Amino acid sequence: MFTGIIAERGTVVALEQQQGSAVLTLDVPTLADDLGLGGSIAVNGVCLTAITREGGRIDVDVMGETLDRTTTGSLKAGDLVNLERCVPAGGRLDGHVVQGHVDGVGALLERENQGTWDRLRFSVPAQLARYIAEKGSIAIDGVSLTVTAVSPADAPEQWFEVGLIPITLAETGLGAKRPGEGVNLEVDVLAKYAERLLAFLDRGLS
């Protein structure tokens, strides 16, 4: 489990496409120091498994499902990525419960500077919009954020907004995100579980 609090940024060395999968190589400043083989690390919000490590450089496996449902397949050498290690038992939950299981890809529609902070509006796939609520939580490229506004349920194109404070602008990739660029979205898992439970209750199953 992760919390959506980015620890540092890493650099993409290479993305080697294979048949139905890929291997992503990253330079990691410090988070790889105690990352054992098979250990988990969130890369732009995607939970990936370390398969090799040499100093501060790691390789992680990326399966086809991940390539299909995230922006990982578009990474290229030199790109900076948000990194977070899984939270230890007893660790602080400073953000919200983030699994690293990306639900889909959105895109930055617009950003507006508000003085010391920025307002960002993102598109969201229609099938995910019902899980996003004003003042609820969402992970964008692995960053835990509070939703400040949402589109009406009957809007032809669904969107939501967040506000980024100075430290988020400076320490994550969202500070340099430009309109049109894609982002990984993970909605609140509690909303998905609630919907699944209600679906069974409506059928008289409990």
What is the pLDDT at residue 158? 98
Summarised one tens digit per residue, pLDDT across range 79-112 is 999 999 998 877 888 889 999 999 999 999 999 9
pLDDT band (50, 70, 90) for residue 187: very high
Q: Is the residue at 79 inside a domain?
A: yes
**136 contacts 146 by C-beta, under 8 angstroms:** yes
d(CA 44, CA 150): 23
Q: Is the pLDDT of residue 206 over 70?
A: no
Q: Is the residue at 20 inside a domain?
A: yes
- Say yes or no: 58 and 112 in one domain: no
Number of domains within the chain: 2
Range of the domain at 113: 104-196
Summarised one tens digit per residue, pLDDT across range 58-85 is 999 999 999 999 999 999 999 999 999 9
What is the pLDDT at residue 205? 63
Q: Of the candidates 25, 50, 85, which is a domain's last residue?
A: 85
Mean pLDDT lowest among 94-98, 141-145, 174-178: 94-98
Q: Is the residue at 97 inside a domain?
A: no
CATH number at residue 48: 2.40.30.20
User: Exposure pattern of 143-164 as b/e (b: 16+ CB <10 Å)?
Assistant: bbbebeebbeeeeeebbbbbeb
Q: Is the residue at 95 inside a domain?
A: no
Average of per-residue pLDDT across 127-145 = 97
Which stretches does DSSP call E strand in 129-202?
A: 137-140, 143-150, 159-164, 182-187
Q: Is the residue at 139 inside a domain?
A: yes
Q: Is the residue at 90 inside a domain?
A: no
Q: Is the residue at 205 inside a domain?
A: no
Of 93 and 195, which is predicted with more confidence?
195
Distance of CA 25 to the CA centre of its chain: 18
Predicted TM-score (pTM) of this structure: 0.93
- Say yes or no: 77 and 116 in one domain: no
